[in-house]
Amino acid sequence: MARSTAAQAQLSRARRTAENQDDKLEWPARAGLLARGAVYLVIGLLSIKLAFGAGGKTTDQQGALATVARQPFGKVLLVALALGLAGYALWRLWRAAVGHGIESGEDDAKERISGAISGVTYGALCLTAIKILAGSGGGGGGGPDKATAGVLGWPGGPWLVGAAGLVLIGVGIEQGRKGVKADFVENAKTGEMGRRMEQTYVAPGAFGHLARAVVFVLMGYFLIRAAIDYDPEKAVGLDGALSSLRNAAYGPVLLGIVAAGLLGFAAYCMLEARYRRV
């Protein structure tokens, strides 16, 4: 009985510690959601301008940061984005470690792994922003083709690259499922929304997840092609996936739809900064 009481007391202390840490990370998390939305806003705007023949280009997250740096007051904006991205990365890594909410229970393995990957990815993006601020470039030297070339040279490299492509396709399918079912609303403070706000929250979120599904599936497809053909130049990132849409039949229309979806995802991220349960 004494052991049981001591174990319960220890668990209670651990929960209080985790809850206190959650409170400390709330504002960094919300700032990070805003920063993520800003990055997708730049990507979507540049892509939709290209689709409509008004200039623009396809770019990825690193390119979006470099674009921000070239704007008036760009360095100030980039500092704000770097801080937000750092907060987002820290929050996602913390959630990967302790689970998504003490009261609602632990996340499953898929959610933990997703959080860890997201935390590492956005942590690296924060470092890219810092490099740009320091004047050492935006990390444009190591694209997916060069990374793929290195892995293809390993024993079993093509299998590893192909497996990574399948993982990306799986991520894309999961994004599509979220877009169709709109179950991302489960993480929102719906009790603080009116009916119209909830509809406003769901629409760009669903459209945005579907657009991200297209992008991830394309990146996975081209990675598998690179593995099968033993050709690292066929591997593409976000910018390459968008370019492939532009070069397809009805390319401007397809790119315009996906770009609009990425703008929708940007709007969703910014609404998340207000209504997400963190």
The model's pLDDT over 230-246, given as tens digits with 9 standing for 90+, comes to 999 999 999 999 999 99
Q: Which amino acid is at 87?
A: G
Confidence at residue 3, expressed as pLDDT on a 0 to 100 scale: 53
Number of Cβ within a 10 Å radius of residue 159:
12
Is 18 exposed, middle or buried (CB count within 10 Å of its CB: 0-12, 13-18, 19+)? middle
What is the Cα–Cα distance from 265 to 210, expressed in whole angstroms? 9
Confidence at residue 113, expressed as pLDDT on a 0 to 100 scale: 87
Confidence at residue 138, expressed as pLDDT on a 0 to 100 scale: 56
Query: Which residues of the chain fall below pLDDT 50?
Result: 9, 11-20, 101-105
Whole-structure pTM value: 0.87
Structure tokens, 135: 């004047």
For residue 144, give the nearest of 61, 85, 65 by alpha carbon: 61
Q: Which amino acid is at 274?
A: R
- Give per-residue burial for 226-250: e unless 16+ CB within 10 Å, then b: bbeeeebebbbbbbbbbbbbbeeee
Confidence at residue 25, expressed as pLDDT on a 0 to 100 scale: 86
Contacts of 227 (CB under 8 A, 6+ apart): 152, 158, 159, 161, 162, 165
Phi, psi of 188 (to 5 degrees): -105, 155
The ranges assigned to domains in the chain are: 144-278
What is the Cα–Cα distance from 62 to 142, expressed in whole angstroms? 11
Confidence at residue 117, expressed as pLDDT on a 0 to 100 scale: 92
